[in-house]
Chains A and B, each alone.
Chain A
Amino acid sequence: MNLDSITVESIRDSLRERKYICDRSLATVVYLSVRLGKPILLEGEAGVGKTEIAKVLADVLQTRLIRLQCYEGLDSNTALYEWNYPKQMLRIKLEEIGSRDRESVETEIFSEDYLISRPLLDAIRTDGAEPPVLLIDEIDRADMEFEAFLLEVLSDFQISIPEVGTIRADKRPYVFLTSNRTREIHDALKRRCLYHWIEYPTFDKEYEIIMTKYPEVQKVMAEQICAFMQQVRQMNFYKRPGVAETLDWASALLLLNRAELDPEIVKETVGCVFKYREDLHHLEEELSGDKLDMDRILKEPATVVGGNAQ
């Protein structure tokens, strides 16, 4: 894709071609990010497609996707680079037999051959190729220290390795950060980024997503699934189901050759939607209560009030 000719529409359409349904506001933010060279911080509930958009965009831009999954205790050795110690030691041992002078050995074992490149260094060292999409996933799981370190990398897009020198990105990678908000991201990092909150999809959007991913799903059932999802997202579950769950459910129902939902099959397959015992329990209560109007969901799914669950 030619970067100079991209527009908000072209981004939205090419994402759509690759089966990622996104609204104009997300497309605008992605567009701005590509043009401004600024990272995007995506927040939203689990399973609304935060990670997916980075993957799809890499495909659109026809470039590599480099993914850095964050976890507690992630440090710069794992994220940036590390010296290949065993290889260095072996080299030293081998050199003991030979008679080369110490200095040349030293320069050698601290050359790039002995450097193990980790995702961040990978993303910056493009060697003239198209800049990759760098996905820093679930940043909220990493420690605060790592965040501070990331701040440094994301502001200059350069990395200094004392023994080798400074490596600078000739073209900035397209950076996506995602967070599930298990804790707050530091303000300084947020300021470096464009921010976008991905909502749960509306009824229509979710319907479109199902029909795009699984065109063989019967229309009635797709509507019923969406109506069910819209309703339960407005209730107080521990983990509200995301789009990922919707799609799992749809594909499970397809496997079972279902053309329509009925109360029985909902009970049998609801494990696709709720993954916590307390939530399953809660659902049972709701099903027997009157808040979850199954009749209406099954018979007139299109009339179930959509809108974004907050």
Chain B
Amino acid sequence: MKSLTMDKPDERNRLDAMKQGVIGKPLDRPDGPIKVSGVAPYAAEYDIANAAYGVFVTAPIARGKVAKIHEDSVTGMDGVIAVVADERFTTRAAQGTAGEAPEQGPGEVDYWGQPIALVVAESYEAARDAAQRLKVDFHADDLADIPFDPDAVEPEKDEGQRQGDLAHAMAEAVHSVDRTYTTHGHASAAMEPHASIAEWQDGKLTVHASLQMLNFNIAELADALDLEEDDVRLVSRFVGGGFGSKLGVSQDVVAAAIAAKQVGRPVKVAMTRQHVFQAIMRRSESTQRLRLAADAEGRLTGFGHEALVSNLPGEDFAEPVTQSSKFLYGGENRLLRIDVARIHRMCAGSVRAPGEAVGMTALEAAMDELAEQVGIDPVELRLRNIPDKHPTKDIPYSSRKLAECLKEGAAAFGWQGEDRKPRQRREGEWWIGTGVASGSRVHNVEEAKARVTLRPGGTALVETDMTDIGTGTYAILGQIAGEMLGLDPKDVEVGLGDTDFPRGPGSGGSWGAPSSGSAVFLACEALREEIASLLKGEEGNLTMKDGTAVVGNTSRTIDELLGGKELQRTGHFQPGKTEKEFAAASYGAFFAEVAVNDWTGETRVRRLTGAFGIGRVLNEKTARSQCLGGMTWAIGAALTEQLLFDPRDGHLVNCDLAEYHVPVHRDVPECEVLLVEERDPAASPIQAKGVGELSMCGAAGAIANAVYNACGVRAYSFPMTPAVLLEGLVEQAKA
């Protein structure tokens, strides 16, 4: 095992010294052909003999207790095997990296739509029917006693992060902005609904599930069932999208495991779309007050970002709205805080880019107003406010390409920042306008292990429990190993998504690639050391290319060196002091052109350019795709996506894909992605940072700013549906 704790920046840039020339290249994904042919297996698609079907029964009350489950109301129905209602059932998904069981005990109901039982039957049709018809009595709490509205309760106050005197700075400022924004909740809405097939053999449990972080999930599942981790195996080779909704073990996993034990045969639970919407994590709605104080040139002297978000009582997670506000811009006088309202809507948790996804939207909209007041190009305003030193901590920034992203993005987009007067460009009924925003997302790494095996014949096998949720893990890990070991990535097999493999942190927080990628890198370094010693040389002098290893004048093929045996090493990466000693983040810039219909307020994004500094690019094609994905999400967050809750019982009303409006093909224009050349030695030994979340952090702000530039209406509520913009349009027409 080769271990590395990231206690100092890795300035060696070892990957750049390698000769295979595949790292960063826009290679096709190795898993592409099986995905486009429909043979890549997702959780519910394993053909496990004799599997029965389980469908959840959910609570139609907001809070209370299950009084009695009338099993006999369905047990006589054709095909019904059992009604399973076990106190170990989990009632919500675990929060990301929890590593322990989430809330258990379905007899206590905390939100409308909470799963309380599972009906198991011979067919899906029978299970679904019986689940809908199961008679259950409840002791429901009086709705009048239950808080549902985050604005109507006294929130848990956050002490916050304070420095100087923001109120004074605001009073003294030459220019200031004090605005309050609201954002509605979002759903991950991954295309594959959560699903599990659980099977017990000889006391050991195997679950094929759709999960992002197996190393944490196995602990959560084992804890829920009071099992040893050694007696549990989780498999998630293909995950049909996660976006945070599969970070923690979900209710289907635990219920399928318990039901399989109880009925003595494998049980498959594929949650319905409605159940996923109603019972798996929401992104909290937010109310955000932005206060920006600036001098005559627009340099920030004060910076305030205060948010109110919500969650169920007892949940630790609070949408970290101010995450990037801690370091993105300067301003000596600061106040950042996040208050939490405890309400009985479904559980709030991580949805793609928790925090910045909504926090950056509001911040960047406020920055646009400041630029207008100061009367300067909003790109220039941002450039002026990139701080030389961290606003509150005495630590340096790691590599930071924000200025490059703003400048290169502006050039690629054809940005014109001098005259920003709104309502200047019209095409028929449509106002046309442009907007800009900075992008920022914290950088994280987590402990990760990976095993790499060199095999006779000159091929390699990479194994880790890391998942590929669409991000391109299969591609990038093969490229890292290929680069380090001098192999065509086609000759590198990558095995993922199985807890029998060395463990890592999984996919989430954009840390998957830098963490697991570093573990693969370390395993390869160890293999290179062994190969170098076989050649009586030093690793530093070893060249590996096209299956051949060379030290000095000695050249041998890998196949020759292995002598018919495998050579295996495990890499072990751990975060270290750099985490605290550097402010590390990924940065970007967004430029949007929109059309707003003057009559109806319908808004269409016509162009979207994103420029990103994400450290080393591991695969240009998959990295670009991640950026396109985030930008597409931003279009949804800006214009269409909103979770709507009934004010009387807190239930989610738009719990399907017809009424929760994720963007469709026609909403998404051709998008331009620029990946700015960067290595961040403080970020990881492969100098890479995360990419999947950054690309939506700020982009909705750029769209909002473009809407203003187009039609003269500032939106303070997101998404900017026709209903939100209409009043302003009517006023503008009168004026």
- Determine if chain A interacts with chain B: no
Task: Using CB atoms and an 8 Å cutoff, list the residues of chain A in contact with chain B.
Answer: none
Task: Using CB atoms and an 8 Å cutoff, list the residues of chain B in contact with chain A.
Answer: none
